[in-house]
């Protein structure tokens, strides 16, 4: 049995043989995954040493993670400072454990990990996100077309915590906050949005500087996204499909495949009764023996199927599945593949020189 405190210390973590016993303190609602038909939910759990957030990607377990219950878990994953439970995770009800008062005193505050926010639906809101600023740009102004507002101030940053990094945009009065690269901050309220089909965090709330030695020790110059952005293409093999999601998309190039609502683009307001469809895929890629899930957006998915995207996600899934395993060279920004070239024949395996 491993405690939460010891679990978080083993980074990068191999939790394949770990068992953890926790008490469930809070449980959030079921949330639809924007890229699949599955639903997920989040809980806050604790033991005698610390507290931790758990994201469960299996809605049939919603009735198991009941606040007040004590559970044992195996076959879970640790992503930075939070746990991910999937359909493979085994959950066992067990005898009650007591949580010390000093641990309970810190559980009323809702905190979130950046990778947790990445996987949440658009427009999800979060409170008390603590992170480090690893990149900060000066204030600029923009025009908001939907409200016809001119000269709206904003500031673009990249923020990072133990789970990963993510672009962060401060709007209006928030953009005037005295925040610079290297600062550790708490974002009282924020939302998950998208820009150019990539997830971002946004806020108009006042930002607070805080003291956190663990976050302060994170690298200023190499966020997780920057580490994965390479000038040279990498080689990998697509070996599995997690999900492929299709949706009616705006054909206006400036809308970047914006999802249409009732055949109308919420961005440019164009109505199309017979819109074309776009796709988003999450695929399992083997890169030199390391298995990892990557996200592919419409252009890259279309390269894989080599034909127009149909409205039915199962059709695209079957097309891609029929071509597995797919050998390719690619460039990635974090966990998103931004360009790829398919190798029709497997690339020759490189050998190390002595």
CA 188 to chain centre: 20
Taking the C-alpha atoms of residue 49 and residue 295, their distance in angstroms, rounded to an integer, is 35
154 touches 238 (CB < 8 A): no
Q: What is the DSSP string of 45-113?
A: EE-SS-EEEEEE--GGGTTTS-TT-EEEEES-EEETTEEEE-TT-EEEE----PPPHHHHTTSSS----
Nearest CA to 99 out of 53, 54, 46 is that of 46
Q: What is the DSSP string of 235-261?
A: EEEEEEEEEEEEEEB---GGG-SPBPB
194 is written with which tokens? 């998208």
Nearest CA to 129 out of 107, 154, 160 is that of 160
How does pLDDT run along the chain (354 residues), one tens digit per residue? 889 888 877 655 566 668 899 999 888 888 776 555 678 888 889 999 988 888 888 888 888 999 999 999 988 888 767 788 888 888 988 888 999 988 877 544 445 678 778 767 777 777 778 899 999 889 998 887 777 788 889 999 999 887 778 899 999 888 888 899 999 998 888 888 888 778 899 998 888 888 888 788 887 754 444 433 333 578 888 888 888 878 887 776 666 567 778 878 877 777 877 777 788 888 888 887 778 888 888 878 888 876 555 555 567 777 788 888 888 888 888 888 888 888 765 444 443 433
The pTM of this model reads: 0.41
Alpha carbon separation from 333 to 71, 81, 209, 258, 285 (Å, rounded): 37, 21, 28, 20, 15
- What pLDDT, on the 0 to 100 scale, is given for residue 299? 79
Q: Assess whether the previous peptide bond of 325 is cis (omega < 30° from 0).
A: yes
Angle at 36 between CA 298 and CA 72, to 5 degrees: 135
């Amino acid at each position: 049995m491993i405690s939460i405190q010891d679990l978080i210390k083993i980074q990068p973590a191999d939790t394949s043989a770990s068992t953890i016993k926790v008490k469930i303190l809070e449980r959030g609602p079921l949330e639809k995954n924007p890229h699949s038909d599955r639903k997920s939910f989040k809980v806050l759990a604790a033991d005698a040493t610390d507290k931790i957030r758990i994201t469960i990607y299996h809605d049939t377990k919603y009735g198991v993670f009941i606040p007040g219950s004590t559970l044992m878990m195996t076959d879970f994953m640790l992503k930075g400072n939070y746990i991910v439970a999937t359909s493979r995770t085994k959950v066992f009800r067990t005898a009650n454990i007591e949580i010390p008062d000093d641990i309970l005193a810190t559980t009323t505050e809702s905190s979130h990990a950046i990778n947790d926010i990445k996987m949440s639906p658009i427009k999800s809101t979060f409170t008390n996100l603590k992170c480090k600023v690893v990149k900060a740009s000066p204030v600029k102004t923009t025009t908001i077309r939907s409200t016809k507002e001119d000269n709206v101030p904003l500031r673009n940053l990249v923020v990072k915590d133990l789970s990963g990094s993510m672009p962060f945009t401060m709007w209006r009065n928030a953009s005037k906050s005295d925040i610079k690269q290297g600062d550790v901050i708490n974002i009282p309220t924020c939302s998950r949005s998208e820009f150019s089909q990539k997830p971002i965090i946004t806020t108009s709330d006042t930002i607070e500087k805080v003291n956190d030695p663990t976050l302060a020790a994170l690298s200023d110059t190499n966020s997780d996204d920057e580490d994965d952005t390479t000038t040279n293409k990498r080689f990998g093999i697509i070996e599995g499909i997690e999900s492929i999601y299709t949706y009616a998309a705006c054909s206006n190039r400036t809308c970047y495949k914006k999802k249409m609502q009732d055949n109308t683009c919420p961005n440019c307001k164009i109505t199309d009764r017979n819109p074309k469809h776009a796709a988003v895929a999450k695929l399992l890629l083997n890169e030199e023996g390391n298995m990892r899930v990557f996200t592919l957006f419409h252009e890259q998915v279309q390269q894989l199927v080599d034909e127009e995207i149909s409205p039915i996600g199962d059709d695209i899934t079957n097309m891609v599945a029929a071509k597995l395993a797919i050998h390719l060279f690619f460039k990635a920004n974090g966990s998103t593949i931004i360009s790829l070239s398919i190798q029709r024949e497997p690339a020759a395996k490189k050998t190390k020189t002595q």
